[in-house]
Structure 1
Amino acid sequence: MCEHASNHIPSEYHGLGLTPVELTRHIAWDPGAAEVTRLLSQSLNAPAFLGSFSRLLIDLNRPLDSAGSIVTRSEATDIPGNLGLSPEEIARRVGDIFTPYHAAVSAHLDARQGRPTRLVSLHSFTPVFLGVARAWEGGILFGDAAAFGETLVSRLQSAGLRVGANVPYKTDRAEDYAVPVHGDDRGIPAVLVEMRNDLIATRDGVHAWAQVLSTALQE
């Protein structure tokens, strides 16, 4: 899964009041994550589900009742086009973007019942957040799937990466959707992979991360 694969905002939304440059930033998507996801999908012969709209319209990895579902401020940037939304507009985004994506994932997992399954959600994070530098090169986030998550951390560390468990964030049912809902609630081992986005800003970086993740997941 790659919920933040795209920074696409339909023209009718006028960029939610942001400039084109601002929409290339992490506030609008997870740069590099889609490219790693596609390569990993090919390497593992595994289906991939990529979000096709910007997280600023509605975040596919946030519960609908969370403050992060449709943000009015992301990091230090105000999102003018999300201010004062009507219930009808919120329902439209839920119906057009959020529900179809998760219905597709759910239908696929329903069809896999009885087959060994692992769920991996791929994301990227910024090297600096609100002025604070992050030394981690990546993180493996997990809830119930501690054995799966810790094994991946160990394998990635053995490959020479500065990777930790539940860094730079932690999974939280109140703030996360894919791992708790599609993974933990179904009894499917699930992790969220965080990659520092400066490390996947080039073709070589994307290929390197896809390769190391493929190896770690297949051993």
Structure 2
Amino acid sequence: MAMPSSTAGRKTRMRKAQRLLAENEPGPVIVTRPDGASPFFLTCDHAGRRIPSVLGDLGVSEKERQRHIAWDIGSAAVAHHLSALLDACLVEQVYSRLVIDCNRDPSVPSSIPVLSECTTIPGNVGLSEFERARRVREIFEPYQARTRAELDRRQSAGRETILVAIHSFTPIFEGDQRPWHVGVLYHRDERLAHALMDLFQREGNLIIGDNEPYQVSDEMDYGIPVHGEKRGLVHVELELRQDLIANDEGQRAWAERLARLLPQARARL
């Protein structure tokens, strides 16, 4: 029996009211050059700082939302330039990590932070299971699903795939100066990371972080352990210091450097 139109309409309105993303808001994932010829496959987990309108500003000022706590400053621009130079597929996530961090398993507390560095995130305090679940369902899961789908498609076509995750880090953290120009991160598979670190050293003017300022782990990361290690893909995670990629000149310079060195590192494997 067909549902009465009034009941169906009411249920439709309820579903819309319960959604995190409004109909006029963008989806969480953008894919650039899905059919790019390069073996390199780029991801950018923290590309944007959007917050769904239903969440307001999460109780965080605009000045704070411009900081690293909300996104990886400069990473998306570098990734786009690199994608163009290599003709590489790029998958990026456009909502702020303050809404949900797409490089964390949703089961860990830092997935939806109530405190980021020294900043409290009032809109994340005391979330219900429903509120947490819809952030997972509408942002985290679509981003990971599209990443999986693109990797599956390449695998089905018999294409070589090398995963490169693009991130950025602050030059100062909790008062401590960070000297590295670039951090090269890895966990169980160090092949590409070590080849790339050697090439960075040969540049002669770079301070390279060997698993600095962060280390990849199953607890604190998602992209490399799940999309890289579990698939057996050659991979590396790159952290670029934000003051070096704060403008277009720096973003292009680092993209050009990576476009030159990544193929050389691949050739060494």
Displacement of 1:47: 0.7
Distance in 1 (alpha carbons) for counterparts of 2:53 and 2:72:
20
Q: In structure 2, what residue type is equivalent to 1:217?
A: L
Distance in 1 (alpha carbons) for counterparts of 2:95 and 2:232:
29
**What SS does the corresponding residue of 2:199 show, helix, strand or coil?**
helix
Q: In structure 1, what residue type is equivalent to 2:239?
A: E
> Which digits, 9 at most, give the CA deviation of each residue in 1:7-51, with x for residues without a partner?
111222121001111100000000000000000111111110111
Distance in 2 (alpha carbons) for counterparts of 1:110 and 1:10:
29
Which residue in the other structure is 1:16 paired with? 58
1:152 aligned onto 2:159? no
Kindly indicate whether the alpha-carbon contact (under 8 Å) linking 1:144 and 1:189 is maintained by their aligned counterparts in 2.
Answer: no
Displacement of 1:179: 0.4
Which residue in the other structure is 1:165 paired with? 210
Distance in 2 (alpha carbons) for counterparts of 1:11 and 1:180:
32
Select 2:164's aligned residue among 116, 120, 133.
120
Kindly indicate whether the alpha-carbon contact (under 8 Å) linking 1:37 and 1:122 is maintained by their aligned counterparts in 2.
Answer: yes
1:60 aligned onto 2:105? no
Displacement of 1:203: 1.1
Greater RCO, 1 or 2 (C-alpha within 8 Å, sep 6+): 1
Kindly indicate whether the alpha-carbon contact (under 8 Å) linking 1:41 and 1:47 is maintained by their aligned counterparts in 2.
Answer: yes
**What SS does the corresponding residue of 1:16 show, helix, strand or coil?**
coil
Select 2:257's aligned residue among 199, 212, 215.
212
> Percent identity, aligned pairs only?
46
Which residue in the other structure is 1:75 paired with? 117
Kindly indicate whether the alpha-carbon contact (under 8 Å) linking 1:156 and 1:212 is maintained by their aligned counterparts in 2.
Answer: no
Q: In structure 2, what residue type is equivalent to 1:165?
A: D
Q: Which moved more, 1:160-169 or 1:126-135?
A: 160-169
Which aligned runs of 4 or more in structure 1 are off by greater than 6 angstroms? none
Distance in 1 (alpha carbons) for counterparts of 2:141 and 2:221:
15
Distance in 2 (alpha carbons) for counterparts of 1:67 and 1:147:
31
Select 2:228's aligned residue among 174, 178, 183.
183
Q: How does 1:79-158 map to 2 (within 5 A)?
A: 79-113=121-155, 114-158=158-202
> Which digits, 9 at most, give the CA deviation of each residue in 1:105-134, with x for residues without a partner?
101111111321100010000011011110
> Which digits, 9 at most, give the CA deviation of each residue in 1:72-126, with x for residues without a partner?
0000100000000010111100010000000001011111113211000100000
Q: In structure 1, what residue type is equivalent to 2:180?
A: W
Q: In structure 2, what residue type is equivalent to 1:56?
A: L
Kindly indicate whether the alpha-carbon contact (under 8 Å) linking 1:18 and 1:79 is maintained by their aligned counterparts in 2.
Answer: yes
Kindly indicate whether the alpha-carbon contact (under 8 Å) linking 1:4 and 1:51 is maintained by their aligned counterparts in 2.
Answer: yes
Distance in 2 (alpha carbons) for counterparts of 1:202 and 1:151:
28
Q: Which moved more, 1:1-10 or 1:142-151?
A: 142-151
**What SS does the corresponding residue of 1:191 show, helix, strand or coil?**
strand
The TM-score normalised by the length of structure 2 is 0.80
Which residue in the other structure is 2:30 paired with? none
Q: In structure 2, what residue type is equivalent to 1:188?
A: L
> Which digits, 9 at most, give the CA deviation of each residue in 1:159-216, with x for residues without a partner?
2321122111100101100000000000001111000000000111101110111111
Q: In structure 2, what residue type is equivalent to 1:59?
A: D
The TM-score normalised by the length of structure 1 is 0.98
**What SS does the corresponding residue of 1:48 show, helix, strand or coil?**
strand
Q: In structure 2, what residue type is equivalent to 1:125?
A: F
Work out the number of aligned pairs and report it.
219
- Pair member with larger Rg: 2
Which residue in the other structure is 1:31 paired with? 73
